[in-house]
Structure 1
Amino acid sequence: MFPRPRYVFLDDRGMSTVEYSLGLLVAAAFAMILFGIVQSGSVEDGLTGLIDRALNFTG
């Protein structure tokens, strides 16, 4: 029946794994949103036009 030392509650050994997994989830969600934006009609047409102009450039 001894009181627990205070430093036991300040231990954060598992935080790096949790932060890593949350970072991966956020990155995946951001990639899905960005992919959806790029696949929209106007953005896709703009990017296709930009790539077409770059490939057909006669400087």
Structure 2
Amino acid sequence: MITRPDFLPRSFPPMSGRRRLPVGDDGMSTAEYALGTLAAAALAALLYAVVTGDSVLAGLTALVQRALSVAW
């Protein structure tokens, strides 16, 4: 006979009927690491291309010049 711990309600299913977690599947596999690394590198390349673009550089330059030209 399977006994339930005191903190479980009576309507809780018995412990023997539950599915167990798979053994040895406790992290990402090498393929998942490779895809994650590839996605991170692609995002970094995209952000680098955007930030080093002419429009962003011109906007940042204008912002700095405007901030430095403020009269106190």
TM-score, normalising length from structure 1?
Answer: 0.51
Distance 1:14 1:33, change over 3 A: same
C-alpha displacement of 1:16: 7.6
**Aligned residues, how many?**
51
Unpaired segments of 5 or more residues in structure 1?
1-6
What is the 5 A alignment of 1:1-59?
10-11=22-23, 12-15=25-28, 18=32, 22=36, 24-59=37-72
Give the number of the structure whose alpha-carbon radius of gyration is greater: 2
Unpaired segments of 5 or more residues in structure 2?
1-19
C-alpha displacement of 1:50: 0.9
Three-state SS of the structure 1 residue aligned to 2:65 is helix
C-alpha displacement of 1:15: 1.7
Root mean square deviation, CA, Å: 3.2
Task: Tell me the percent identity.
Answer: 42
Instruction: Work out the CA distance in 2 between the residues paired with 1:44 and 1:33.
Output: 15
